[in-house]
Amino acid sequence: MTEKSEVRFEEAEGRKGLILTFIAVACVFLSWLVRHYSILLGIVTIFSVYLLTGDRYQWVYIWKKTFYRDIVGLRVLLITMFKIWMWEKSGTTVVSRWAKVAKKTPDKDAFVMGDRSLTFREGDEFSNRIAWYFKRQGFKTGEVIALFMETQPEYVFLWLGLAKLRVTTALVNTNLRGAQLIHCLRIAGCKAVVFGDEMTEAIKAIQNEIPDIPLFQFNSPEREGSPIIQDTTPLATELNEMTTDPFTDVEPAKPRDTLLYIYTSGTTGFPKAAIITNIRYLLIPLGVHTAASLVSSDIVYDPLPLHHTAGGVLGAGQCLVLGCTVVLRKKFSASNYWSDVVKHKCTAAQYIGEICRYLLTVPPGANDRAHNVRVIIGNGLRPQIWEEFVERFGVKRVLEFYGATEGNSNLVNLDSKVGAIGFLSRLVSSIYPLTLVKCDEVTGDILRDENGRCISCGPYEPGLLLGKIDPKKAILTFAGYADKTASEKKMVRNVRVKGDCYFNTGDILVMDYYGYFYFKDRTGDTFRWRGENVSTAEVEGVISNLIGLKDAVVYGVSIPHVEGKAGMAAIADPEKIIDLTSLAKGLNTSLPAYSRPLFVRILPEPPLTATFKLKKKELMEQGFNVSLHDDPMYFLDQKSGMFIPLTQKLYDDIIEGVIRL
């Protein structure tokens, strides 16, 4: 046992006598029942002795503490797997599932945004118009059309209509511009682009670079008078000519057929187009729906972008697949989050990344606890603010989960365990084949034993999370990316036995004695300083708390002739009023010396992805070079322990080794 262990065996020892008595009585009772079956009695006795010798008693204690949690988890897993198996067996796709859902409650609101909504009937009719229109334009099964549009009620029904034609839709991030935007269109092989009128400037900027790709401009109902870009088709106008009759002109799709491309966030380079099959789109919302105990009468608040998995699959899927009403918002607003929830009578709500931290920065208001939300669903709620968030907003249940757009390694925290991203049963972990393996935390390289197999981690040993790929089971498949080379890079072979194959999540997690998992860092984000590994996620959480929950990005920077990388923090504060004296004192109290950032940079705005994750690639490249930008920078003076302005002379002294670190 280590000091970190949460299993307090000194407390358990006090109960050991009670369990011994129970087992003894059970043995006597069994012997009376099976007095002629001495072999069975011997097995029971041997098993009892086995449990109570060595350190095996811990398993009795762990079983007692986690039995109910594991039973609930097993129930969620089995229900999800059974339904997905049934859907796949019957050839169910998103289109066929939607047809049943829409027929059941045609006059119920499907998507609501502000004061505008579309019912299930209206959404189905709109998607039929889309299917008929693009068939008339000559698009065929298997071709790809990009959707480049901000959130609105028609968004999902646009790609659903294309799915009826068996055309794949690439959901393009609305924050992309220039070369990255062109890259996303090319890598997915897009034959056309449907874009919202709010994206006209971005399209104009690349129009000459994509002369071979037809453009269709969709003006939302509230902006029908917006001008149409030259050489584009006014889609909204032309749709009025199309019939709303059910579209049945092509052979139905199969569950494993590609439905969508969803792009990774691109925090470390150009985005990759992840393949979302029909069965995966069905699986993600179903799994969360089951875990959160949602019903079709629930109203789900989804303020997340619909081009991303969290908003467009997990959230929107509650409508398409399960029949819930989903409330949308064009762009997330911390100040309007709870007022939206109250206004629309939402019973479940979503979060992602840093959203919960932003909600805490808003001054307390009347709607903080006036809502009917019984469960909030998402990932990225930092352990440092978890309890404060739950207490302030009166959230009954936090369903924190772990998963990636393209990955098969999914975890869920069913019992609101503070800080945990999910769990696996310690006693029957083989039911769901995820594993933590030892790796170099800085490089991400997997460590192997003398037989070439990966080395499993024990409790509290940081490790890389891998998920076994099994093409026969929908819940364990890995469809990969449009770029097959990128797909191969995410696979790890010969993990446990020769020939097996696992998905590499790229995330370093830690598991405790009860089987709860905690996020530690992304591989490549961890850096080494003074002979110790520094977790950027941990340091970011501490700094954010010290500076009033403002955005903070932590990364390692190289210094000539110095081993390892020194810590640097970029803090977003438009007013530039960070109290650096308090920050230095707080870091000294909260972090070991090797984890304290040596450099601080004050940013005018937070470097966020569309899914509220903090970007750091460009910041890492610029390092602490004072000549590459005009942002104020500071250095942690080794003598005073305080931050001082980083001048050109001080920078030169550090580079030349005049100042010893």
Residue 69 lies in a domain: no
The values of phi and psi at residue 612, to 5°, are 60, 35
Please give the Cα distance from 424 to 427 (Å, whole number): 9
Decide the pairing of beta strands 527-529 and 434-437: unpaired
- Confidence at residue 267, expressed as pLDDT on a 0 to 100 scale: 46
Residue 518 bridge partners (DSSP): 510
- Confidence at residue 617, expressed as pLDDT on a 0 to 100 scale: 78
- Which of 470, 498, 521 is where one domain is finished? 521
Is 260 in the same domain as 194?
yes
The torsion of the CA quartet 627, 629, 631, 637, rounded to 10 degrees, works out to -30
Is 371 in the same domain as 485?
no
The CA-atom distances, in angstroms, between 345 and each of 101, 301, 324, 349, 367 are 22, 9, 13, 11, 12
CATH code for the domain in which residue 480 is found: 2.30.38.10
In tens, the pLDDT along 325-375 reads: 999 999 999 999 999 999 999 999 999 988 998 999 999 999 999 999 999
Please give the Cα distance from 602 to 630 (Å, whole number): 10
Angle between helix 94-104 and 120-136 (nearest 10): 140
Is 339 in the same domain as 358?
yes
Residue 79 lies in a domain: no
Residue 412 lies in a domain: no
Q: Which domain holds residue 41?
A: 9-55
Residue 199 lies in a domain: yes
The SS3 of residue 294 is coil
Residue 456 bridge partners (DSSP): 437
Residue 333 lies in a domain: yes
Residue 379 lies in a domain: yes
Among 643, 508, 631, which Cα is nearest to 570's?
Answer: 631
Please give the Cα distance from 406 to 410 (Å, whole number): 11
Residue 316 confidence (pLDDT) above 80: yes
Please give the Cα distance from 565 to 584 (Å, whole number): 19
Higher confidence at residue 457 or residue 10?
Answer: 457
- Confidence at residue 289, expressed as pLDDT on a 0 to 100 scale: 97
Residue 652 confidence (pLDDT) above 70: yes
Is 388 in the same domain as 441?
no
- Which of 464, 497, 521 is where one domain is finished? 521
The CB density around residue 26, as the number of other CB atoms within 10 Å, is: 12
Among 172, 157, 154, 174, which Cα is nearest to 221's?
Answer: 154
Is 445 in the same domain as 309?
no
Residue ranges with strand state E in 537-632: 552-557, 566-572, 599-603
The torsion of the CA quartet 348, 353, 357, 358, rounded to 10 degrees, works out to -80
Please give the Cα distance from 116 to 344 (Å, whole number): 12
- Confidence at residue 98, expressed as pLDDT on a 0 to 100 scale: 98
User: Which pTM was predicted?
Assistant: 0.81
Q: Which residues contact 70 (CB under 8 A, 6 or more apart)?
A: 425, 427, 428
The SS3 of residue 412 is strand
The values of phi and psi at residue 423, to 5°, are -155, 160
Is 506 in the same domain as 553?
no
Q: Can you list the alpha helix ranges (DSSP code H) found in 533-656?
A: 536-546, 580-590, 617-622, 648-655
**320-324, 386-390, 411-415, 429-433: least confidently modelled range:** 429-433
Yes or no: say if 318 and 300 are a contact pair by the CB < 8 Å rule.
Answer: yes
Return the ∠ at Cα 170 (arms to 165 and 173), rounded to 5°.
Answer: 145
- Confidence at residue 104, expressed as pLDDT on a 0 to 100 scale: 96
Please give the Cα distance from 216 to 208 (Å, whole number): 15
Residue 422 lies in a domain: no
Is 377 in the same domain as 449?
no
Please give the Cα distance from 553 to 569 (Å, whole number): 5
Is 51 in the same domain as 131?
no
Among 361, 423, 353, 350, which Cα is nearest to 382's?
Answer: 353
Is 266 in the same domain as 317?
yes
Please give the Cα distance from 600 to 616 (Å, whole number): 14
In tens, the pLDDT along 411-433 reads: 999 999 999 999 998 876 667 88
Is 389 in the same domain as 516?
no
Q: Which residues contact 200 (CB under 8 A, 6 or more apart)?
A: 217, 226, 227, 229
In tens, the pLDDT along 447-484 reads: 999 999 999 999 999 999 999 999 888 888 888 888 88
Please give the Cα distance from 47 to 57 (Å, whole number): 12
Residue 17 confidence (pLDDT) above 50: no
Please give the Cα distance from 424 to 432 (Å, whole number): 8
Residue 424 lies in a domain: no
Q: Which residues contact 202 (CB under 8 A, 6 or more apart)?
A: 148, 174, 176, 177, 181, 195
> How many domains would you assign to the chain?
4
